[in-house]
């Protein structure tokens, strides 16, 4: 009924949406939007280095994102610049270094548009294995650290005082974000991956009463965005990443009309 | 009290502890012990290192000097301030089990003890300051900890509520047989419920029973004559609470 590449894109995209939902909720709760963006921007450098060194693209993106994450921790100890200034510094310099290397290494032929905005045509069977395999691993780890990570999100001191080891779960979560970016960069693109992390949870918050509800609705919203986005991409010949994000934005606006639990009247 | 101390190992033993940060000592030379079934109160003006001392006990901060020995992992903590972002949809029911799975009956028991059972399904961001403090206290006691650390637990609670809440804290320490560290900026209210007071101002100014501390010259210097006088008035009232009818005269 559909072409093979389209079926592959659907399977890959749905996988990404399922992983992006819960990770994205934590990104929103912890105000890490710009942080996710920074790691994603460094993805271009990761891709370039992957090409030059001849290693798997997702692996090199993962390594570079993790490196940037730890570089940020290091910089935070060395200077008193605010977090967002440091993030900006890292985001734009890593993007710039990536672009400079692409220009110098004229032997590499890279589809820049594809990298920035995602390319469904590029999804191979190996990518599907990587997305679902990596995705299951990410979700299992998240499930294990959930309680401690969530407690630390609500209040770090409280989590630490009551023996939840928040530092460890914070570090692990950093690696998980890098992992999500690594497996979804090819499909969604460097510039838009944070959108898929943020918009479904933002939509979901409008009618969620508990953290778990918010995660479930985020996944559902993400999956719907991927399915409609990809069909739209096929129908109107638009790039896949932006199409998915546009659908998720429409869902967000729609969600504003179905808000729950916001103006609840409380009897004193 | 004294025999109690001899028989029990302290839950917390702090010896000459201090925290150094950004070129100055936040607190220094603090020694204290907390035992089961007793309440230790830390008082002192703003910036005197009360919260820092609490965090030192809880291992949130490391001592740069001295020793802190904590002999339990069952801890309940009510931080001074918890800012919950609107983006986190959190109901009282979710908040109760934040740091560990806890049975429904224990949750209900704790919430009814602090008088906020009716808020069970409310979102945390919709609570008033006083309601939030009660929920926060309920959360900390629900799992029946060995050690309870309460940092200004009556913030945002009105005058009458404040006295009730301190009575409740006293009741909790007896019912769940835990040791309590109470951090407060105001000795007046904690008088009736505390066993030992430590007056802090970067270092330990004075310590002892509430009555002793109230009479101590460095306490009076730190808080002014006014505080000492109000305090004695209050302890006078306190005498009446031991009447058979247990009423608090006003």
Give me the residue label for tokens 């974000």. A177
Q: How confident is the model at residue B117 (pLDDT cuts 50, 70, 90)?
A: very high
pLDDT tens, residue by residue, A69-94 = 999 989 988 888 888 899 999 999 99
Q: Compute and round to an integer the Cα radius of gyration of chain A.
A: 19
Q: Do B126 and A150 touch (CB under 8 A)?
A: no
Write out chain A residues lying below 8 Å of B76, CB-based: 162
Mean confidence (pLDDT) of chain A: 90
Q: Which of A100, A105, A138 is nearest to A19 (CA)?
A: A138
Q: What is the pLDDT of residue B227?
A: 59
Two tokens, residue A42: 């460094």
3-state secondary structure (DSSP) of residue B123 = strand
Q: What confidence score (pLDDT) does residue A102 get?
A: 85
> From A145, which residue of chain B is nearest by alpha-carbon distance?
B99
Per the prediction, chain B carries an average pLDDT of: 82
Residue B226 — very low, low, confident or very high, per pLDDT cuts 50/70/90?
low
Give the angle A178-A159-B55 at the CA atoms, nearest 5°: 125
B35 and B4 in contact (C-beta within 8 Å)? yes
d(CA B213, CA B207): 6
pLDDT above 90 covers what percent of chain A?
Answer: 65
pLDDT of residue A265: 42
- On whether any CB of chain A is under 8 Å from the CB of B134, the answer is no
Q: Is pLDDT of B17 > 90?
A: yes
B176 and B141 Cβ atoms separated by less than 8 Å: yes
Q: Measured between CB atoms, which of A154, A161, A211 is closest to B77? A: A161
Question: What pLDDT does B250 receive?
Answer: 44
**Mind telling me how many Å the CA of A25 is from chain B's nearest CA?**
9
Residue A104 pLDDT level (bands cut at 50, 70, 90): confident
The first and second tokens of residue A30, run together, are 């912890």
pLDDT at A197: 95
Chains A–B, number of C-beta pairs less than 8 Å apart: 73
Mean pLDDT of all residues in B148-156: 87
Each residue's pLDDT tens digit, B180-202: 999 987 766 666 678 888 988 88
Band of residue A103 on the pLDDT scale cut at 50, 70, 90:
confident
- pLDDT of residue B230 exceeding 90, the answer is no
Cα of first residue to Cα of last residue in chain A, in angstroms, is 59
Instruction: Tell me which of A34-43, A101-110, A208-217, B34-43 is least confident.
Output: A101-110
Length of chain A: 268
**What CA–CA distance (Å, rounded) separates B127 from B139?**
15
Q: How many CB atoms lie within 10 A of CB A118?
A: 30
| Closest-approach residue (CA) in chain A for B98 | A151
Contacts of B87 in chain A (CB under 8 A): 28-29, 205
pLDDT at B72 over 60: yes
Rounded to a whole number, what is the distance in Å from the CA of B24 to chain A's nearest CA?
18
Note which residues in 82-101 of chain B have CB less than 8 A from chain A.
Answer: 82, 84-85, 87-91, 94-95, 98-100
d(CA B120, CA B135): 9
Cβ pair A182, A62 in contact under 8 A: yes
Q: Could you identify the residue written with the tokens 């009555």?
A: B211
The pLDDT value recorded for residue A267 is: 39
Q: Is the dihedral of CA B86, A210, B133, B49 positive or negative?
A: negative
Judged against a pLDDT cut of 60, whether residue B236 lies above it is answered with no
Bigger pLDDT: B242 vs A88: A88
- Higher pLDDT pick, B213 / A136: A136
3-state secondary structure of A46: helix
Higher confidence at residue A73 or residue B139?
B139
pLDDT at B249 over 50: no
DSSP structural state of residue B20: E
pLDDT at A122: 78
Q: What is the CATH number of domain A4-254?
A: 1.10.3470.10
Evaluate whether A58 touches A183 at the Cβ level (below 8 Å).
yes
Every domain of chain A and the residues it spans: 4-254
**For residue A25, how many C-alpha atoms fall within 13 Å in the half-sphere facing its CB?**
31
Q: Is residue B239 helix, strand or coil?
A: helix
Region A25-37 average pLDDT = 93
pLDDT at B40: 92
Share of chain B above pLDDT 70, in %: 84
- Tell me what pLDDT residue B6 has: 46
* pLDDT tens, position by position, A207-242: 899 999 999 999 999 999 999 999 998 899 888 889
pLDDT of residue B168: 84
Q: Label residue A30 by pLDDT band (50, 70, 90).
A: very high
Q: Give ipTM to 2 decimals.
A: 0.83
pLDDT above 60 for B166: yes
Q: Is the dihedral of CA A122, A125, A127, A131 positive or negative?
A: positive
* pTM of full prediction above 0.90: no
Measure the CA–CA gap between A180 and A16, rounded to whole angstroms: 8
Q: Write down the pLDDT at residue B229.
A: 55
Q: CB distance from A54 to chain B under 8 Å?
A: no
How far from the centroid of its chain's Cα atoms is residue B189's Cα?
12
Q: Return the H-helix or E-strand segment holding B16.
A: strand B12-21
Mutate: best of B84, B89, B148, partner A, most A CBs <10 A: B89
Whole-angstrom CA distances from A241 to A19, A48, A191, A248, B117 are 16, 20, 9, 11, 48
Band (pLDDT 50/70/90 cuts) for residue B233 is very low
Nearest to residue A132, comparing CAs of A187, A202, A73, A76?
A187
Domain B2-74+145-240: CATH architecture, name and number where available = 3-Layer(aba) Sandwich (3.40)
Q: Taking the domains of chain B in order of start, what are their residue ranges?
A: 2-74+145-240
């Amino acid at each position: 009924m559909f072409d093979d590449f389209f079926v592959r894109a659907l399977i890959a995209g749905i996988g990404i949406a399922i992983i992006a939902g819960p990770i994205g909720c934590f990104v929103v709760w912890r105000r890490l939007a710009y942080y996710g963006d920074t790691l994603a921007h460094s993805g271009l450098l990761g891709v370039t280095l992957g090409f030059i060194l001849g290693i798997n693209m997702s692996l090199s993106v993962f390594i570079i994102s993790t490196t940037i994450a730890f570089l940020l921790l290091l910089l935070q100890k060395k200077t008193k610049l605010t977090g967002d200034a440091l993030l900006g510094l890292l985001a734009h310099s890593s993007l710039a270094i990536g672009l400079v290397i692409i220009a110098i290494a004229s032997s590499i032929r890279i589809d820049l548009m594809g990298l920035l905005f995602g390319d469904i045509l590029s999804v191979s069977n190996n990518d599907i294995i990587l997305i679902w395999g990596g995705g299951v691993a990410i979700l299992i780890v998240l499930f294990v650290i959930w309680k401690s990570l969530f407690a630390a999100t609500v209040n770090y001191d409280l989590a630490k005082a009551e023996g939840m080891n928040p530092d460890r779960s914070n570090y692990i979560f950093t690696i998980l974000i890098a992992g999500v970016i690594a497996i979804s960069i090819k499909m969604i693109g460097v510039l838009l991956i944070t959108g898929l992390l943020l918009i479904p949870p933002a939509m979901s918050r409008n009618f969620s009463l508990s953290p778990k509800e918010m995660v479930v609705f985020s996944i559902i919203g993400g999956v719907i965005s991927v399915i409609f986005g990809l069909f739209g991409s096929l129908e109107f010949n638009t790039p896949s990443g932006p199409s998915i994000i546009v659908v998720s934005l429409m869902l967000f606006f729609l969600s504003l009309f179905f808000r729950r639990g916001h103006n609840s009247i409380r009897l004193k | 009290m004294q025999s109690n101390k001899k028989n029990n190992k302290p839950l917390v033993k702090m010896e000459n502890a201090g925290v150094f940060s950004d070129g100055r000592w936040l607190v220094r030379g603090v020694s204290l012990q907390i035992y089961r079934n007793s309440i230790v109160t830390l008082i002192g003006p703003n910036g005197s290192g009360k919260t820092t001392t609490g965090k030192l006990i809880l291992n949130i901060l490391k001592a740069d000097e001295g020793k802190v020995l904590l002999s339990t992992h069952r801890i309940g903590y009510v931080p001074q301030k918890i800012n919950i972002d609107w983006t986190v949809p959190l109901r009282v029911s979710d908040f109760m089990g934040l740091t560990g799975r806890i049975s429904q009956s224990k949750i209900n028991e704790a919430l009814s003890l602090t008088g906020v059972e009716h808020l069970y399904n409310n979102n945390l961001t919709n609570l008033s300051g006083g309601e939030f403090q009660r929920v926060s206290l309920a959360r900390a006691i629900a799992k029946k900890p060995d050690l309870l650390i309460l940092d200004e637990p009556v913030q945002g609670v009105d005058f009458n509520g404040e006295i009730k809440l301190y009575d409740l804290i006293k009741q909790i320490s007896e019912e769940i047989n835990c040791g309590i560290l109470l951090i407060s900026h105001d000795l007046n209210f904690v008088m009736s419920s505390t066993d030992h007071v430590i007056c802090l101002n970067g270092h330990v100014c004075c310590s002892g029973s509430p009555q002793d501390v109230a009479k101590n010259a460095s306490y009076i210097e730190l808080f002014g004559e006014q505080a000492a006088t109000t305090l004695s008035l209050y302890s006078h009232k306190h005498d009446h609470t031991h009447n058979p009818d247990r009423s608090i005269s006003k």
